[in-house]
Amino acid sequence: MRDSRGEKSITLSFVTASWAIVTVAFARSWLFPVDGMMPMGAGEYGAAVAAIMAIWLGREWTEKGKRAWRGGDAG
């Protein structure tokens, strides 16, 4: 998968797959509940998505820092 700069991004592929898995798990827990298990709450879903997004945002932040250090586009 390529990022917005056109470069290959393994992290973006991981983030996309992780977000899809968590979203499917959230939907499944409400649409097809398992006996004895409570559905995933909005807080649990939000925390999981925030953790996944933190990985992606961390990558973007470090990539931006590398470009600024090399004299590239810092903005």
Q: Residues 22-59: pLDDT tens digits?
A: 999 999 999 998 888 899 999 999 999 999 999 888 88
Q: Is residue 54 in a domain? A: yes
Indicate whether 5 belongs to any domain: no
Residue 3 counted as domain residue: no
Q: Is residue 75 part of a domain?
A: no
How far, rounded to the nearest angstrom, does the alpha carbon of residue 13 sit from its chain's CA centroid? 9
Q: How many domains does the chain have?
A: 1
Note the pLDDT of residue 37.
86
Please report whether residue 62 resides in a domain.
Answer: yes
Domain ranges, residue 37: 10-69
Residue 41 burial (CB count, 10 A): 11
Q: Tokens for 54?
A: 């933190």
CB-CB contact of 11 with 59 (8 Å): yes
Q: Looking at residue 52, what is its pLDDT?
A: 93
Q: Is residue 50, in this structure, part of any structural domain at all?
A: yes
- The answer to whether position 4 is within a domain reads no
pLDDT computed for residue 68 by the predictor = 67
Residue 75 has pLDDT above 60, yes or no: no
* CA 24 centroid distance within chain: 14
As given in the structure block, the two tokens for residue 72 are 């590239």
Q: What is the pLDDT of residue 39?
A: 92
Number of residues written out for the chain: 75
